[in-house]
A and B are shown apart, each in its own frame.
Chain A
Amino acid sequence: MRPRRIGADLRIVARGYYRNPAALFFSLIFPLILISLFGLIFSASGSGPVTLEVLNEDSHSALAAQFLSALNNTTIVKVQVVPTASVTPSGFSAWLGQQGDPVGLVIPSDFTTNVTADRPVNLTVFANPQDAAAGGEALFAVSGVANAFNLAEAHGTPVIQVPPSKGVGSEIYSYIDYLIPGLIGFSILTSPMFAMVETTSSYRKEGLFRQLTLTPLTRGEWLASRILWYVVLTFGAAAIMLGIGVGVFGAHVSVGLGILPFLLVGPFFFVSLGMLAGSVAPTPESAAVIGNIITFPMMFLSGTFFPVSEFPSGLQTFAHVLPLYYVIDGMNQVMLFHNLARASTDLLVVVVAGVVVFLLAIRLFRWRDD
């Protein structure tokens, strides 16, 4: 592996790309359209007030009663007080899950004490990831009333704080949050797979690999420059989706260094897989078919658009053999659930699979004929 040759080849790839509008469309504009479309669909508000189950731990306080009455007056939510005897705050999330309408609010027992003493207090909103609109509306109403109370009662000091809501049964708060790792995974899959299958089979048909055989460029270097290029495109696509998802649709995801390994290893795996698929196929037409057979199940069954946990158990088992599942699950663990241990396991699966596919791709693929 010589960096100079990889660099030279990377320049050729990049030029071919930005001089080909169709390729750029699929890699960057398509993610933009996807995130905008899904964001618009799933952040649209429903009709009528949302029933908000309230666990009022501070039930003897006039201030808490005023707060709930103000919430009702917003007409966005309809407050329904849960008897404190039947549920504990720690079991509230699970209890909501058993009810049909799981949007909830907990007012802690020290609510009044803290507000009167100008000490910060947290109001926790619980929402169902499957009902993003209801969760969003409830959070909106609670935050609005909290702001009004901060102005009136605490003289403008923001003592009543409404942190991002907690999920019912999990930490997920809205569908768009869930969608961001899914759509990043979608573009990690589709952008290299479709392009590499096409490139590999058409290069072979047009004799471009034979042309490259006559140069010192090795198959490993050729593949490495493509991997680097799709890492660049993946960063671009991820930035677009995060920018629009967070900036326009108010998604709550943590964007940290934790997702970087997935943005590197994901393209590494799928570029190699695309080359392998394109090289075992005898013609460009059959390559496209093989590419689609590999790509389409993964596109929908790896947790791109719907959480795998919502699948019937047979399909869940199937999802667990799809490499993209581990890329998306890993990013979910990092961005939503903060479960770095599980993210590391996911990453390891993708790295091992990637190394195997990379080695297979450069070993099985012949640039010369026997």
Chain B
Amino acid sequence: MADAIEVRGLVKQYDGLTAVDHVDFSVPPGTVFAFLGPNGAGKTTTVEILEGLRKRTSGEVRVLGLDPWSDGAELHRRIGVIPQDFRFFEKITPREGIEYYRALFDSRADPDALLRLVELEDKQHARYDQLSGGQKQKLGLALSLTNEPEVHFLDEPTTGLDPTARRAIWNVIRTLKQQGRTVFLTTHYLEEAELLSDRVAIIHHGKIIAAGTAAEIIAAHGRGTRLRFEAPPALAEYLSRSLGVAARSSPGLVEVDLEHPRDAVRVLTAAEESGLPWTTFSTAQDTLEDVFVRMVGTMDDGALKGEVPT
């Protein structure tokens, strides 16, 4: 089966500024793909090109086999979108909005079921301008589901929401995944990506700097397992000197990189032999967030600029 989304060599320039710079990825049908990146990295530009809302400068893009820009009208019947900063008509209620979309799409979707799914039943008769941020976003989600789309695009759907609303939206995304639909999610919450997605791509300065499953990215770009002591800085010096391991210290904390988890035994023995006053120890592994912060941070420091790590 062909990929639901295929992107090859995508470039978008605005007035000489390159917002998206030769991006490649593909999303198999029925999977959740998380597109990560700091603000201004090119996430929204990319997703808007996929949705047919923005024209690309060059490159190949196919969504459900269609060219999003030139086949926009046909594509829009088959995809569901929550744009970033979703807005709706101020004086219209969620139920009226869903009825409106049903008429526009000739859809048979059940409004009650949609309202129940996004947990907006109790606000179905409130006007849009009286809804909270989370309720507005839930309406956006319900509207995007009205045409029973094959591919969903959610552009930062939970930004600025309280934890309850965020969880409600996560539940809907899980439901979509269970139903075998394809979801393209942009977010800058790493937790969200780790929790919901099958595959992740990290975009920075318009380029994909890492792609794969969360575990693959951590394995490729993470620092491996580390042993942490609550100890004076002198312990770091002692361990580096006696074992030749990479050890760092920050106030009250000493961290040692382990090439292999079983090296921990050797390091602990050495620490005991040092006679220095260390108390507790623990092991630590990079989360996706650690990897993300480090990759994006080092790139911004200039260390990796110009390079495209894969």
Contacts and interface: CB of A to CB of B under 8 A. Distances in A.
Interface of A: 4-5, 7-9, 11-12, 15-16, 19-20, 206-208, 210-211, 213-217, 368-370
Given A7-B103, A11-B100, A207-B83, A16 B76 contact: no
Interface string B79-98: 10101011111111000100
B200 to A, nearest CB: 25
A368 B54 contact: yes
Contacts of B77: 216
B83 A368 contact: no
Nearest to A212: B104
Interface in B55-112: 55, 72-73, 76-77, 79, 81, 83, 85-92, 96, 99-101, 103-106
Contacts of A207: 83, 85, 87
Given A8-B104, A214-B81, A16 B72 contact: no
B106 A368 contact: no
30 contacts: A8-B100, A12-B92, A12-B96, A15-B92, A15-B96, A16-B89, A16-B91, A16-B92, A206-B87, A208-B89, A210-B53, A211-B86, A211-B88, A213-B52, A213-B76, A214-B51, A214-B53, A214-B76, A215-B101, A215-B104, A216-B73, A216-B76, A216-B77, A216-B104, A217-B104, A368-B54, A369-B53, A369-B55, A370-B54, A370-B55
Contacts of A217: 104
Contacts of A213: 52-53, 72, 76
Q: Closest 8 interchain pairs by CB?
A: A8-B103, A19-B91, A215-B104, A16-B91, A370-B55, A206-B87, A214-B81, A214-B76
B166 interface: no
B127 interface: yes
B2 to A, nearest CB: 23
A30 B79 CA distance: 44
Interface of B: 51-55, 72-73, 76-77, 79, 81, 83, 85-92, 96, 99-101, 103-106, 127
A207 B101 CA distance: 17
Contacts of B51: 214
Nearest to A23: B91
Contacts, number: 71
Nearest to B101: A215
A19 B92 CA distance: 9
Q: Is the interface of A mostly helix, strand, loop or mixed?
A: helix
Contacts of A210: 53, 83
A8 B100 CA distance: 6
Nearest to B74: A216
A210 B106 CA distance: 20
Most buried by A among B54, B83, B89: B89
A19 B100 contact: no
Nearest to A11: B100
A130 B31 CA distance: 78
A8 B139 CA distance: 18
A57 to B, nearest CB: 66
Given A206-B87, A211-B88, A368-B54, 8 more contacts: A5-B103, A7-B103, A8-B103, A9-B104, A11-B100, A208-B88, A211-B86, A215-B105
Contacts of B73: 216
Most buried by A among B53, B76, B83: B53
Nearest to B87: A206
Contacts of A16: 89-92
Nearest to B55: A370
A224 to B, nearest CB: 14
B3 to A, nearest CB: 22
Nearest to B85: A207
B92 A5 contact: no
A66 B87 CA distance: 78
B91 A5 contact: no
Contact of B105 (A208, A216, A368): A216
A83 B55 CA distance: 84
Given A8-B104, A12-B100, A216-B105, A368 B87 contact: no
A15 B106 CA distance: 21
Contacts of B100: 8-9, 11-12
A213 B55 CA distance: 14
Nearest to A221: B104
